[in-house]
Amino acid sequence: MKIWFDADNGPHVLIMRPLKAELTRRGHEVVFTARDRTKTCQLLDLYGIAYVTVGSEYGRGKLGKIRGTLGRAWDLARTMRGCGASVSFGHGSRALPLASRMLGTPTVTMYDYEWVDATLFNWCCSSILLPSAISSERCASAGISTRKVASYPGYKEELYLGGADLDQSIPGDLGLRSSAVKVLLRPPATTAHYHNPEAETILQSILERLAAVPDVQLVYLPRTADQRDLPQRAGVDETIVPGRVYDGPSLVAAMDLVISGGGTMTREAAIMGVPSYSFFRGRNGMVDESLAASGRLVTLENSRQVAEKLVVRRRDGDMTRPDPNRLVSFVCDAIVSCGRSR
């Protein structure tokens, strides 16, 4: 069976890599398309995965995203027409389900934030894979077609957090000192449709808090050019912006704490047992609620909570490496089953 994966965002590469390995082991052929944004292509290159680049950044605003999605869907369909894929798979890619419908290819999507607009997935996808932390009641409230939902065990990050060796070269590459408090910080996605400006106020408080702590090394991952000099303006003494792409779990493992305005890193850290703080100010999802309820993730909802909750110190204790096998098998079974039902 030929299976088409579409990597629409950098974290998708980490999710898809173990799935590709297992599907290949089972005798299937996996082909990739990729959108050239947020280090997606660089990560595919890092792991030696062949792909065809289709599309890049969309324009700003809702209209720009709609135009970008429709244009990329058309380009995907044109690129993959005649490739013979039995099924397609994406992690929340919106262009992929549209392109697959144009081609008559059944498609499976997987995502873990229930408050995205599910209309396109309900219409185009044969199966929607969601973590078991998201209840059927929440799915119904979010407008997700519950008859298409298959609940997978655990969290998506478990697909890759325990299955590969960590890159031990990162501390040396970045010049990290064993005596320093090493903080990984990712600012909010200010161009995302879910962005809440409150997150930018909280970010400023976080930077001021880090500036007040001696011997902090801040590893900073700006999303946009205008975010690049924010730590220096807040008075942070030592800021490191990595000059090349590292895989997220290895970068998280080198840190004493992780702080992010949204995205996968806070969940990776929480699952690995690295102190994790989220100042995402969009609508709360059940995955983060679950991690927060278990004490593995701390949410910062305003600047006052930065002062009350953010603990900046060296990390104690060992990391946790989850077993990916059950989840890898579940997702691969779902993809293959969809392809066979064609």
Residue ranges of domains in the chain, CATH in brackets: 2-163+324-340 (3.40.50.2000), 170-309 (3.40.50.2000)
C-beta separation of 84 from 104 below 8 A: no
Q: Is the pTM of this model over 0.85?
A: yes
Expressed in angstroms, the distance from the first to the final Cα of the chain is: 11
pLDDT at residue 146 greater than cutoff 70: yes
pLDDT digits (tens, 9 = 90+) for 52-111: 999 988 877 788 888 989 999 999 999 999 999 999 999 999 999 999 999 999 999 999
pLDDT for 225: 87
**Relative orientation angle of helices 95-103 and 61-80, to the nearest 10 degrees:** 40
Q: How confident is the model at residue 320 (pLDDT cuts 50, 70, 90)?
A: confident
What backbone phi and psi angles, to 5 degrees, belong to 141? -65, -35
How many CB atoms are closer than 10 A to CB 304?
Answer: 11
Q: Residue 189 has what pLDDT?
A: 77
Do residues 192 and 263 make contact, with C-beta atoms less than 8 angstroms apart?
no
CA distance 118 to 17: 25
Length of the chain in residues, anyone?
342
Q: What is the pLDDT of residue 196?
A: 74
Give the pLDDT confidence score for residue 264 in this predicted structure: 87
Q: Which residue in 231, 233, 279, 240 sits closest to 259, CA to CA? A: 279
Alpha helices in 81-187 (DSSP H): 95-103, 119-124, 136-141, 158-161, 170-174
Instruction: Output the pLDDT for position 291.
Output: 96
* Residue 173, both tokens: 């590459």
User: Band of the pLDDT at 163, cuts 50, 70, 90?
Assistant: low
Distance CA 212, CA 44 (A): 38
Containing 3, the helix (H) or strand (E) segment is strand 2-7
Two tokens, residue 85: 């894929």
Q: What is the pLDDT of residues 276-294, one digit of tens each?
A: 999 999 888 999 999 999 9
